[in-house]
């Protein structure tokens, strides 16, 4: 098979060199996109066809549209022929590195956009690249010359995607920068470039750049930066930022800001403080320190002038009593007015979050058919394996939910919520039972060791077990459940698809004196030791693993689940991933230990023809599932899909380059039928 392999031309020296060969490593993230013939236009022609009443037929935004539904009407690749997919081309950016020598490990987590016949994406070094969607040939690149080269463990250098915006008239779109790509960087900049040429838009900020650290106050460069794409709501570009977890109580502000898409002028800043906040006002910043940050992917509803914000935790993650009420907006989905930044509503998924169960998934917008008619809805998946369905106009739960009592007897001085919200229409999708009898292991010996760990730690039978000094079980652990991959929705079938990690971890709170007396305070992911300065405790975090590396919780350790939206019924639930590349050799080659699922982060996409594509796992495998049955119909051990013409081939393209637990790589791989 003749595979076209393309290598990026880099604009300046100092990049790590690309390894030889077609090697696709670790975490893989899938995207499906489709274009019809009318979309193949030059920059001075009419824009892509917009038909909001029908299925998505183009992919100009992260998640397909601004609501992140991840569905497309492409039907050339079907359950009957998907097993004939073959590699069509491979693009190597060259932008990756191992950790060490002042460098941070890179992750290749981006989702490309399809703008006309061009794929546009960003690399871990924040370069923005545009490649021909049919051949992989590079068309342009923009290099901001990243200054931040090292990030503290456990974070990696990553850019999850970019945003596309265009002027409202054909004449305006034909001008330079009438169609723009916006990217937010690890150097805390918001950058606008011409979508057709990659040239910086001189009229946006200062020569295409807006400094996001203005108003943030005193903080280290690695404490505040962006890893996820902005979103546009009409003519406003909205962006949040990652704030380093668990370093100190007075962490940098978690402000969300909206900038004019043409000029880069600040339109508004939303400071996530409660209405009755009476705590300290910052002296060195325009916004309040220690608030919930917004590091993940935003959604927008242009028609209703709303932007939907998934929030993280107020500082620090594992002790709430020192937050002075700033967790009012923590672990929530918040709706803001796109034009003004004013609060429209909020819905909180975790009260007084002391588990790092921040809202990691993009809020997904869709129309839900109910007995009372169509409702403009929002699906919010959580790390706990919960999926809440909300009316996106009001934030009210469409089918209702329950506030269930939970224990509040955490460590001394802690303040916990006596109840937590549970969805009822879609019951929790992550298991909650975990006892010594449930322990798993590859052998009776390591299974016994897991049973001992589970017996030693406190667990109340649900994810809201209070952290303790003696140690508590966190199930699921703090990576999920569902994470930033979010969910995909098939609006025709009325089905939601969600992938989750199903593993347990432990939280141990260390009194300040005990932490201060420790000689080695090194944090080695996934075994983390975090200082939480300004609180009475530090925290030690770890997955529950057997001496042979098996998760102590029962498999599957990764899952893909289909849920009927109208009834809330689970249609099917199947393992996602295998122990390949992770379990000790030769365990993963033994059939009984092979298909047990694996940790996963990236999301799925679904097609009109009845396929669900997903990478996301640690076993370097890209899969297609039957949307009706959950059967695996095709898999490729390596590492989006679009169709440019009615008579053209549909492509499936995947970014494959590893994550924190795997060797980094730099491949964008396209598949097509022969």
Neighbours of 41 (CB within 10 A): 16
Q: Within 13 Å of residue 226, how many CA atoms lie on the same side as its CB? A: 30
Alpha-helical runs (H) found in 151-262: 170-174
> Contacts for 283-286 with beta carbons within 8 Å, 24 or more apart?
284/217, 284/218, 285/215, 285/216, 285/217, 285/218, 285/252, 285/253, 286/214, 286/215, 286/216, 286/217, 286/253, 286/255
Contacts of 365 (CB under 8 A, 6+ apart): 65, 66, 67, 68, 69, 299, 301, 308, 376, 377, 378, 392
The question of whether 356 is a catalytic residue gets the answer yes
- What's the rounded Cα separation, in Å, for the pair 398 and 375? 9
- What's the rounded Cα separation, in Å, for the pair 643 and 450? 49
Identify the CA nearest to 296 among candidates 210, 231, 378, 220. Answer: 231
For residues 346-355, b (16+ Cβ closer than 10 Å) or e, as one string?
Answer: bbbbbbbbbb
Q: Are 483 and 498 in contact (CB under 8 A)?
A: no
3-state SS assignment for residue 182: strand
- What's the rounded Cα separation, in Å, for the pair 110 and 658? 11
Among 65, 317, 356, 446, the one annotated catalytic: 356
For residues 178-214, b (16+ Cβ closer than 10 Å) or e, as one string?
Answer: bbbbbbbbbbbbbbbbbbbebebbeebbeebbbebbe
For the chain, what's the residue count? Answer: 674
In this structure, the dihedral spanned by the alpha carbons of residues 417, 296, 506 and 415, taken in order and rounded to 10 degrees, is: -20
- What's the rounded Cα separation, in Å, for the pair 658 and 105? 9
For residues 620-639, b (16+ Cβ closer than 10 Å) or e, as one string?
Answer: bbbbbbbbeebebbbebebb
Per-residue tokens: 328? 């009012």
Residue 452, H or E segment: helix 444-456
Q: Residue 333: phi, psi to the nearest 5?
A: -115, 130
Please spell the DSSP secondary structure of 102-158, one letter per residue.
Answer: TBPPB------EEETTEEEEE-TT--EEEEETTT--EEEEE----------TT--B-
- What's the rounded Cα separation, in Å, for the pair 507 and 464? 12
Neighbours of 421 (CB within 10 A): 20
Known catalytic residues? Answer: 356
């Amino acid at each position: 098979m003749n595979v076209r392999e393309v290598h990026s031309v880099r604009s300046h020296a100092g990049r790590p060199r690309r390894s030889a060969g077609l090697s696709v490593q670790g975490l893989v993230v899938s995207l499906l996109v489709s274009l019809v013939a009318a979309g193949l236009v030059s920059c001075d022609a009419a824009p892509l066809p917009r038909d909001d009443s029908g299925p998505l037929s183009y992919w100009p935004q992260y998640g397909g549209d601004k609501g992140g539904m991840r569905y497309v009407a492409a039907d050339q690749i079907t359950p009957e022929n998907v097993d004939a997919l073959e590699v069509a081309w491979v693009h190597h950016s060259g932008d990756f590195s191992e950790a060490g020598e002042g460098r941070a490990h890179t992750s290749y987590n981006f989702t490309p956009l399809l703008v006309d016949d061009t794929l546009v994406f960003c690399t871990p070094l924040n370069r923005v690249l545009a490649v021909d969607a049919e051949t992989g040939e590079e068309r342009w690149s923009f290099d901001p010359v990243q200054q931040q080269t090292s990030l503290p463990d456990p974070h990696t250098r990553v850019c999850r995607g970019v945003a596309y915006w265009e002027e409202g008239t054909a004449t305006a779109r034909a001008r330079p920068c009438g169609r723009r790509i916006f990217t937010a960087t690890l150097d805390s900049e918001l950058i606008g470039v011409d979508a057709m040429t990659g040239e910086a838009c001189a009229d946006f900020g200062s020569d295409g750049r807006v400094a996001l650290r203005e108003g943030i106050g005193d903080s280290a460069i690695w404490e505040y930066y962006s890893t996820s794409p902005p979103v546009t709501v009409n003519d406003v570009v909205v962006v949040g930022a990652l704030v380093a977890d668990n370093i100190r109580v007075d962490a940098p502000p978690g402000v969300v800001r909206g900038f004019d898409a043409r000029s880069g002028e600040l339109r508004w800043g939303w400071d996530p403080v409660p209405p009755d906040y009476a705590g300290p006002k910052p002296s060195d910043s325009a916004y309040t320190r220690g608030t919930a940050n917004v590091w993940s992917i935003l959604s927008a509803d242009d028609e209703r002038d709303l932007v939907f914000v998934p929030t993280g935790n107020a500082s620090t993650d594992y002790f709430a009593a020192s937050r002075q009420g700033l967790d009012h907006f923590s672990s929530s989905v918040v709706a803001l007015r796109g034009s003004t930044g004013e609060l429209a509503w909020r819905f909180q998924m975790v009260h007084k979050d002391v588990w790092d169960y921040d809202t990691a998934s993009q809020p997904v917008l869709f129309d839900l058919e109910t007995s009372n008619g169509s409702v403009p809805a929002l699906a919010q998946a959580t790390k706990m394996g919960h999926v809440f369905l909300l009316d996106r106009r009001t934030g009210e739960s469409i089918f209702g939910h329950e506030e269930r009592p939970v224990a509040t007897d955490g460590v001394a001085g802690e303040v916990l919520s006596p109840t937590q919200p549970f969805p009822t229409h879609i019951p929790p999708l992550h298991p909650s039972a975990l006892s010594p009898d449930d322990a798993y292991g590859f052998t009776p010996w390591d299974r016994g060791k897991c049973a001992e760990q589970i017996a030693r730690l406190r667990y109340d039978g649900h994810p809201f077990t209070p952290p303790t000094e003696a140690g508590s079980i966190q199930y699921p652990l703090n990576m999920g459940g569902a994470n930033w991959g979010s969910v995909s929705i098939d609006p025709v079938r009325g089905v939601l698809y969600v992938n989750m990690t199903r593993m347990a971890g432990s939280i141990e709170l260390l009194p300040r004196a005990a932490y201060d007396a420790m000689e080695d305070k090194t944090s080695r992911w996934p075994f983390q030791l975090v200082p939480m300065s300004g609180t009475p405790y530090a925290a030690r975090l770890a997955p529950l693993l057997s001496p042979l590396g098996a998760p102590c919780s029962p498999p599957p350790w990764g899952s893909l689940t289909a849920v009927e939206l109208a009834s809330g019924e689970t249609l099917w639930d199947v393992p996602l991933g295998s122990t390949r590349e992770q379990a000790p050799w030769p365990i993963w080659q033994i059939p009984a230990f092979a298909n047990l699922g694996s940790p996963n982060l990236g999301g799925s996409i679904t097609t009109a023809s009845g396929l669900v594509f997903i990478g996301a796992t640690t076993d370097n495998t890209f899969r297609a599932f039957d949307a009706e049955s959950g059967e695996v119909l095709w898999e490729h051990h390596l590492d989006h899909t679009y169709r440019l013409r009615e008579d053209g081939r549909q492509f499936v393209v995947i970014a494959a380059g590893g994550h924190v637990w795997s060797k980094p790589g730099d491949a964008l791989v396209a598949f097509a039928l022969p």
